[in-house]
Structure 1
Amino acid sequence: MTGSNRLLLGFGWPLVVIVALLVARARSRTSGTPAPRALAIPPQGRLDIGFLAILAVLAFAIPALGHIPIWLGLVLVVTFGIYLWRASKVEDDDEEEFVGGAALIVALPVRVRRTTVITLFVVSAALILAVAEPFAESMVSAGTSLGVDSYLLVQWLAPLASEAPEFIIAVMFALRGHGAAAIGTLIASKVNQWSLLVGSLPVAHLLGGGGTDLALDARQVEEFVLTATQTVMGVAIILALRFHWASALGLLAIFAAQFAVTDTAGRYWLSALQVVIATVLLVAHRRHILPTLRAPFARSRSGAQTDREREPSAA
């Protein structure tokens, strides 16, 4: 969980932003227009950012408690369900463009389309269920044989395998000039990580014969603190619906630094650095805080209309 979370934000977000801005710069040279310095996130993106901000705050309860109680897991799972419902009600001002397999599915009759989508989900779930345990056990055994820390293999190798398809899709969006869709895909995935993924851990632990609380050791608490502070920093960066070059490179640099900083004290200092950066950005973007926190609870309207009503115009 901690590996996939940090990989998604620390590597995935900067990757699609850099690719999207490079594509935009190449197109600007052809058209003779100024190149954008930041990737713009559409106003309806406030819903995802608002949910992520709330989840980022809730995340600190886990290292504070030293365990993940079943009640918190259920709250997070329910939050994901509410997020899906709210996301389905958001009106998009732009006409949706479907390509590849998505375009083929959309073109199907309604009943066939729904059957196809449900079948895809069921088959995917069955395949994951079939290979998850053998994959995990083999990875731990390989780490033991090679003298590599199995914790690091589970934390980083498994997320690389699971997140790679999502990264590829997001990068494809960015290469096609749909940078907002690319970063929106990964922001939504981040909401998934902090709600459904974290919430399912104590539920799975209980179903597997454990207690109602999933206990964490000192190292896992440290990992949660580092991951939670990175999430707060990420929210602060995108709060103003702009993702700048400098922010993308900074995120990538801090993500890379954690591989060099391996001791506990160093990781807590790195967490403190992320909190300081987040605080500075939150102060700079303070007028965007309340509109973002209200977005998950607002009536379902066009994102652009909602933004115009809630935020003062920029002079």
Structure 2
Amino acid sequence: MIAWGAESAQVIVSQGLALAVLAWLQTSPEFMVEGVIAWQQDISLMTANFTGALRLLVGFAWPMVYFTAFFSGHRKKPDYEIKLDGEDSAPVVGILLPALYVLFIATKASLNLVDAGVLLVLYFAYLFVLNRFPAKHEDHANEMERVPRWILSHKKPVRNILILSCFVTGGTLVFLLAEPFVESLKALALVLGIQTYFFVQWVAPFLSEFPEFVSAFYWARTVKKAAMSLMNTVSSVIAELTLLVALIPIVYSFSRGEVSSIPFDYEHRLEIYLTVVQSLLGFLFLVNMRFSFYEAVGLFSLWFFQFLFPDTHREVILVYLLWMLLEIIQIFRGRRRLAAFPVFFNLWRKHIEKKP
């Protein structure tokens, strides 16, 4: 239902802004889980939850979007690529600054309200940019699924109410069902003897982000919408690097009844470093405005390896760093283009600088 609202909303606001709102609604259960943990002042589980959620998006969701398009489109050739549209350059570029700032947070070994403020500014600046991009023309409705086409067939007032209803109804259902669903599965984890830390980092994010996977794979099965599906998950990465991380010190401070900074020990920092280098490698993959077979396989393989061998953080970080170095060398040798930046700056000049 939320996916129908987002697809229909592209004729009112830009696709990027519609997907950003969609991403926030879809990941709201994740925010709720993180908020509960932060209120309980459990620093280890705070770190486990947000790092697990981000790794799941980049290491599982991105590859699954690719493979859904790969098999659904009957293009089962290793040279198949998801090609991004021009406006998709904004979410791609939008990963970089939040990821680097979270890296800075890990390096200084603390997370405080100033950091929360910086991350919130980065996110709302991202929304500001997306809001300046034009909406798609209503002729685009012919390419949509049946329900969005039906919504857009109505006159403007009714159309807008239907779109808003999709967002509100879908978002409300996600919010109301998330907590009892997660709590019941926590109880199941205890019955099965699964460690709480493992559950929070690996199982809870998968369950809380399930609504997003439904929308993403719904679009990815149509090859023409594969880029839109991928950008849905990229928008979620940006939301979690900014809003989710910013939420932690805010709730933590309220819980303690005073302005408080969250200290990170070596293990916490290692978890965050691993998460950030994965996101930065994902950024380097998308910066040429394409997502290919070997990139999807690489991200999934490293994510799954961490699942099987959770005590190999340092080794996996090294692999990510070496792969990042290889991609950077390819850029300097001219074999890989930083296509997202010139496309983004061209859109900036066209839609942002020229507007009052």
* Pairwise TM-score range, normalised by the shorter structure: 0.7 to 0.9
Give distance in 1, aligned partners of 2:155 and 2:284. Answer: 42
Quick one: structure 1 residues 291 and 224, their matched pair in 2 at CA, closer, same or farther if it must change by over 3 Å?
same
Partner residue, 2:126: 83
State percent identity of aligned pairs. 23
Query: Any conservation in 2 of the 1:139–1:150 contact (CA below 8 Å)?
Result: no
SS at structure 2 position matched to 1:74: helix
One-letter amino acid matched to 1:17: Y
State the secondary structure of the residue aligned to 1:240: coil
Cα distance per residue 1:132-179 (max 9 Å; x no partner): 655555555544454321111122222112222212222221212221
Which residue in 1 is equivalent to 2:256? 209
Distance in 2 (alpha carbons) for counterparts of 1:78 and 1:104: 37
Q: Is 1:219 the counterpart of 2:262 in the alignment?
A: no
- Other-structure match for 1:175: 221
Q: Which residue of 1 aligns with 2:284?
A: 236
Stretches of structure 1 that go unaligned for 5 or more consecutive residues are 29-33, 304-315
Q: CA deviation at 1:240?
A: 0.6
Aligned to 1:262, what secondary structure does the other structure show?
Answer: coil
Distance 1:253 1:98, change over 3 A: same
Secondary structure in structure 1 of the residue aligned to 2:350: coil
Q: Which residue of 1 aligns with 2:56?
A: 7
**Aligned partners of 1:52 and 1:190 also within 8 Å:** yes
Give the alignment of 1:1-315 within 5 angstroms.
Answer: 1-24=50-73, 26=74, 37-91=80-134, 96=140, 97-112=143-158, 114=160, 138-178=184-224, 179-209=226-256, 211-263=259-311, 266-286=312-332, 288-289=337-338, 292=341, 295=344, 299=348, 301=350
Q: Distance in 1 between matches of 2:135 and 2:167?
A: 25
1:77 partner SS = helix
SS at match of 1:208: helix
Closer, same or farther: CA 119–169 of 1 in aligned 2, 3 Å:
closer
Cα deviation for residue 278 of structure 1 reads: 1.3
C-alpha deviation, 1:218, in angstroms = 3.7
State the Cα deviation string for residues 164-205 of structure 1 (Å, max 9, x = none): 221222222121222111212111221112111112221222
| 3-state secondary structure, aligned to 2:348 | coil
TM-score, normalising length: structure 2: 0.71
Taking a change above 3 Å as real, the CA distance of residues 136 and 37 of structure 1, as seen in their structure-2 partners, is closer
* 2:4 equivalent in structure 1: none
TM-score by length of 1: 0.80
Residue type at the aligned position of 2:247: S
Shift in CA distance, 186/38, structure 1 to aligned 2, threshold 3 Å? same
Cα distance in structure 2, aligned partners of 1:65 and 1:108 = 54
Is the CA contact (8 Å cut-off) linking 2:132 and 2:351 kept in structure 1?
no
Which runs of 5 or more residues in structure 2 are unaligned?
1-49
Instruction: Report the alpha carbon displacement of residue 131 of structure 1 after superposing the two structures with TM.
Output: 5.6
